[in-house]
Amino acid sequence: DTAVSQTPKYLVTQMGNDKSIKCEQNLGHDTMYWYKQDSKKFLKIMFSYNNKELIINETVPNRFSPKSPDKAHLNLHINSLELGDSAVYFCASSHLGSYTFGSGTRLTVV
């Protein structure tokens, strides 16, 4: 009964490939997010969706495209992967300011 689940947990891929990370929450929250944590351990917000609508879009290359088929899911598709995309990506959902994070997807681009 995981609250926020991400798949896959680990992803190793070559430069130039296209990959997706999936996120699902069973908390009934209206808002979902993607965060990126780089090798220096800074957690930075990338996107936020509220009821399937994009409401926050930080300065992220347009190779990154979030998709929310319904309010329980927020997937992240990344085109033409680059070495600098290697990081841990966290999905989160929130209700009234309280966030629940997934366990992260460690993406390694080689």
Partner 1 sequence: DAKTTQPPSMDCAEGRAANLPCNHSTISGNEYVYWYRQIHSQGPQYIIHGLKNNETNEMASLIITEDRKSSTLILPHATLRDTAVYYCIVRVADSSASKIIFGSGTRLSIRP
Interface residues with partner 1 (CB under 8 A) are: 4, 30-31, 33, 35, 41-45, 48, 50, 55-56, 88, 90, 92, 94, 96-104
Provide the minimum distance between the beta carbon of 36 and partner 1 in the complex, in angstroms, as a whole number: 11
**HSE-CB for 88 with a 13 A CA cutoff:** 13
82/95 with CB nearer partner 1: 95
Strand 73-78 relative to strand 87-95, pairing? unpaired
Question: At closest approach, how far in Å is the CB of 24 from partner 1?
Answer: 14
